[in-house]
Amino acid sequence: MPTPRFLADKLCPVRAKRERRKEARPGELLAAALDLFVEKGYAATRSEEVAVRAGVSKGTLFLYFPSKEELFKAVVVENLGGRFTEWNQEFETFEGTTAQMLRYCMRVWWERVGLTQASGLTKLMMSEGANFPELADFYRQEVVRPGHALLRRIIQRGIDRGEFRPVDVDHTIYSVVAPMIFLMLWKHSANLCVDEGDNFDPLKYIEMQADAVLYGLSTRPRAEAEPDEAAGPSGAA
């Protein structure tokens, strides 16, 4: 009769510790790879460096991830692409207005992604994607398209419920995405996008951008929303 796992662990604590370490190793490798990819870029990062930072041999790294390309793809899925199931579930259960949902989406994106190392992956792909088209296509498939699909659902929800006016949904998506990209560039570009003397607050910026998007989407009467263009700046026809 085989020895129960918990009893075997007690009888051989060294083996138990080694097995727990083995189970944690993929996560440690992915964390090390994320840090290096964001710090150095994809092209400049060597597999050996990832192994050293994770405290394993290069052979161990390749046991889990056969190539640097596969390692990078796993990093993208772990930190970005794999999270859309969770985010779509939140969409399904959200009970507030669509305006509240959009504000929540933008704020939570900053808290869960923008503030983390993972946001550096977008800057990396914008900088190096043209040199690695296969990785760019993978990023587009795993991150860009699911992200746009989720935003499309949010905006369409507002239109269907009469909360938003009918708009070109596909182009409206970019009005939401653009501020997020700005924040990622700001965070990972030595703050070059903001004047050094400015007291820049990312959360306040997100609120302002959400206000601007929601103002444009609101169903207020046209006369209130837009001045009579035919009248010209002075009000004269």
Exposed e or buried b for every residue in 56-87, given b needs 16+ CB within 10 A?
beeeebeeebeebeebbbbbbebbbbebbeee
- The more confident residue out of 222 and 153 is 153
Say if residue 162's pLDDT is above 90: yes
Instruction: Please determine, for residue 140, whether its predicted confidence score (pLDDT) is greater than 70.
Output: yes
pLDDT at 170 over 90: yes
Q: 4-21, pLDDT tens digit by residue?
A: 555 545 555 444 444 445
pLDDT in tens, 45-87: 999 999 999 999 999 999 999 999 999 999 999 999 988 999 9
Q: What is the pLDDT of residue 198?
A: 73
Domains of the chain (ranges, CATH numbers): 5-66 (1.10.10.60), 80-221 (1.10.357.10)
Residue range 18-34, pLDDT digits in tens: 444 555 589 999 999 99
Alpha helices, H only, the chain: 5-11, 13-40, 47-54, 58-64, 68-79, 84-93, 98-109, 120-128, 133-139, 145-160, 169-187, 202-217, 222-225
Confidence band for 221, pLDDT divided at 50, 70 and 90: low
pLDDT at 17: 42
**What DSSP assignment string belongs to 132-191?**
-HHHHHHHIIIIIHHHHHHHHHHHHHHHHTTSB----HHHHHHHHHHHHHHHHHHHTTTT
Separation between Cα atoms, residue 179 and residue 207, nearest integer Å: 10
Distance CA 9, CA 15 (A): 7
* pLDDT the model gives residue 80: 94
pLDDT band for position 199 (cuts 50, 70, 90): confident
What pLDDT, on a 0 to 100 scale, did the predictor assign at position 229?
A: 41
Give the residue-averaged pLDDT of 122-139: 96
Among residues of the chain, what percentage have pLDDT more than 70?
81
What six digits make up the tokens of 134? Answer: 């296969």
CA–CA gap between residue 98 and residue 139 (Å, rounded) = 28
pLDDT at 223 over 90: no
How would residue 3 be classed by pLDDT, with cut points 50, 70 and 90?
Answer: low
